[in-house]
Amino acid sequence: ITFMHFLNYNVRNNEFLLFILSPYYQHSLAIAASFTLAYLFIFMPCMVGNYLVCLIVVKNRHMRTVTNLFILNLAISDLLVGIFCIPTTLVDNLITGWPFSNAVCKLSGLVQGISVAASVFTLVAIAVDRFRCIVYPFKPKLTLLVAKATIGLVWALALVIMLPSAVMLTVDQEKGHFMVSSDNQIYPLYYCYETWPDPEMRKVYTMVLFTHIYLMPLALIMIMYGCIGAKLSSPISQRKVKVVKMLIVVALLFMLSWLPLWTLMLLTDYARPEGDQLDLLTGYIFPFSHWLAFSNSSINPIIYGYFNENFKKGFQAACRPGSCCSVVPQEQAVSKDHQGCKARTTRDTALSRKAECSAEAGGCVVDNDSG
């Protein structure tokens, strides 16, 4: 960011007043166009892909398994990121200051925080479900009712932990700092930020968020998937590997894509960079870190389609000419292993059948294979 500094000599008070004038646009046309294309590149897959994921699960009763309900919840949180966070963050990164209202400031920050927290808590719920299903296959499985209650709890916890941020977020004018438009008009400069009574409170809150919606949940996920990996080393469990791989990839990419942004937030709170370092962070590194974090919302549907045959068929059906709103036909939606935590209703059901997890949807089934 280029700043023009002007000193205004105040004869009456015999003192110097420092005014900072910043250009309206933070970047050149080429850089702004690159930012716009990059954000558009993740916005379209985020909206289309997650909409199709929601459509496939909601419209097809055979896809309504516990794992798929959690995947549906992830898709909803990713859609919220696409609707409320990607556009406002792009505009905020292109121009100086905050161009929107105080309500948009609060809503954008709240939705982004809630979506991230809900995604993390949902990933934990998925890991717990897989852990119970694979490590303890004979324990009662999660029912759809319990899964729905868990999803409700996930959003409630996400709202509670992000509420302080929404309360403190506000649009405020920065004194002594003004914005210059292309026609040399000067405007007051506003920023959207958290106004804590004590700066130390902001540091504590940032660390609480980092610990509770990043560090601890992902540590639990790694531990549970580690136990699952040890269990899957036996030959009789190879059918369960594919869905676990899919869920591990989802969790791993989430962790990696959000790590730079979390690092920057901790850095700005605790290291307090200034001058050229701050300009570099706000002008280039923060926009890239936001882009990387938001890209996670667009890549999840691709992962589902790659690892899961039913989602792949649903995407293919939706891409056929004249079938933009179609879903997986019901006769195609049932995999060879039957998805969901349900028993086969054939007449020869026997007590000797053991619980196994479907390799396609990750649900628990009662399978004839006793070996």
Q: What is the pLDDT of residues 282-319, one digit of tens each?
A: 888 999 999 999 999 999 898 888 887 778 787 777 77
Cβ–Cβ < 8 Å for 169, 98 = no
Nearest to 26 by CA among 287, 318, 328: 287
* pLDDT score for 20: 59
Sign for the pseudo-dihedral over CA of 208, 209, 213, 215: negative
Per-residue pLDDT at 33 exceeds 70: yes
Q: How far apart are CA 281 and CA 302, in angstroms?
A: 30
What's the average model confidence in pLDDT over 159-171? Answer: 93
| Distances 255 to 82, 110, 120, 249, 260 between C-alpha atoms, Å | 19, 20, 9, 10, 10
- Alpha-carbon gap, residue 340 to 351, rounded angstroms: 19
The share of the chain scoring above pLDDT 90, in percent, equals 35
Q: pTM of this prediction?
A: 0.77
Alpha carbon of residue 308 to chain centroid? 20
> In the predicted model, is pLDDT for residue 329 greater than 70?
no
Q: In this predicted model, what pLDDT tens digit does every residue of 267-287 receive, in sequence order? A: 988 887 777 787 788 888 999
Mean pLDDT of 176-186: 69
Distances (CA, A) of 79 to 112, 266, 299: 11, 26, 12
Those residues with Cβ within 8 angstroms of residue 128's Cβ, 6 or more apart along the chain or in another chain: 224
From 7-16, 55-64, 159-168, 199-208, the region with the lowest mean pLDDT: 7-16
Closest CA to 81 of 50, 122, 126, 35: 50
Q: Which domains does the chain have, with CATH numbers?
A: 43-170+194-336 (1.20.1070.10)
pLDDT value at residue 149: 96
44/178: higher pLDDT: 44
Predicted local confidence at residue 22, as pLDDT: 61
pLDDT at 350: 32
What's the pLDDT at 117? 93
Q: Name the residue with tokens 């929107």.
A: 100
Answer with the residue of higher pLDDT: 265 or 344.
265
Who has greater pLDDT, 2 or 231?
231
Mean pLDDT of 74-88: 91
How far apart (Å, rounded) are the C-alpha atoms in residues 44 and 110?
22
Count the residues in the chain.
371
- Name the band, by pLDDT with cuts 50, 70 and 90, for residue 333: very low
> What average pLDDT does the structure give for the chain?
78
At a CB cut-off of 8 Å and minimum separation 6, what does 228 contact? 130, 131, 134, 135, 244
Q: How far apart are CA 68 and CA 126, in angstroms?
A: 9
Residue 41: pLDDT band with limits 50, 70, 90: very high
Q: Residue 272 half-sphere exposure, CB side, CA atoms within 13 Å?
A: 5
Q: How confident is the model at residue 322 (pLDDT cuts 50, 70, 90)?
A: low
- Average pLDDT on 212-226 reads 91
In whole angstroms, give the CA distance from residue 179 to residue 23: 6
Query: Sign of torsion, CA 332 335 340 344?
Result: positive
Starting from the edge strand earliest in sequence, which strands make up the sheet with 15-23, in order? 4-10, 15-23, 169-180, 186-194
Confidence of residue 140 (pLDDT cuts 50, 70, 90): confident
Please state the rounded mean pLDDT for residues 189-216. Answer: 90
Strand partners, 365: 342, 356
Please compute the mean of the pLDDT values over residues 214-218 and round it to a whole number. 92
Phi-psi region of 175 (alpha: psi -120 to 50; beta: other; left: phi over 0): beta
Give the count of beta carbons closer than 10 Å to the beta carbon of residue 21. 17
Averaged over 102-119, what is the pLDDT? 90
Q: What share of the chain is helix, strand, coil (3-state, %, to 5)?
A: 65, 15, 25
Q: Could you give the CA distance from residue 75 to residue 47 in angstroms, rounded to a whole number? A: 9
Q: Which pLDDT does position 64 carry in this prediction? A: 84
**From 22-26, 67-71, 88-92, 222-226, the region with the lowest mean pLDDT:** 22-26
For residue 354, the cross-strand partners are 367
> Given this model, what pLDDT does residue 341 score?
38
Q: What is the percentage of the chain residues whose pLDDT exceeds 70?
A: 75
Give CA–CA dist 341/350, Å, rounded. Answer: 17
Residue 14: pLDDT over 70 = no
The rounded distance, in Å, linking the Cα atoms of 10 and 85 is: 43
The pLDDT value recorded for residue 150 is 95
CA distance 244 to 242: 5
154 neighbors 125 (Cβ within 8 angstroms): yes
> Phi, psi at residue 360, to the nearest 5°?
-95, -50
Mean pLDDT to the nearest integer, 339-351: 35
- What is the pLDDT, as a whole number, of residue 175? 75
N- to C-terminal Cα separation, the chain: 66
pLDDT value of residue 359: 34
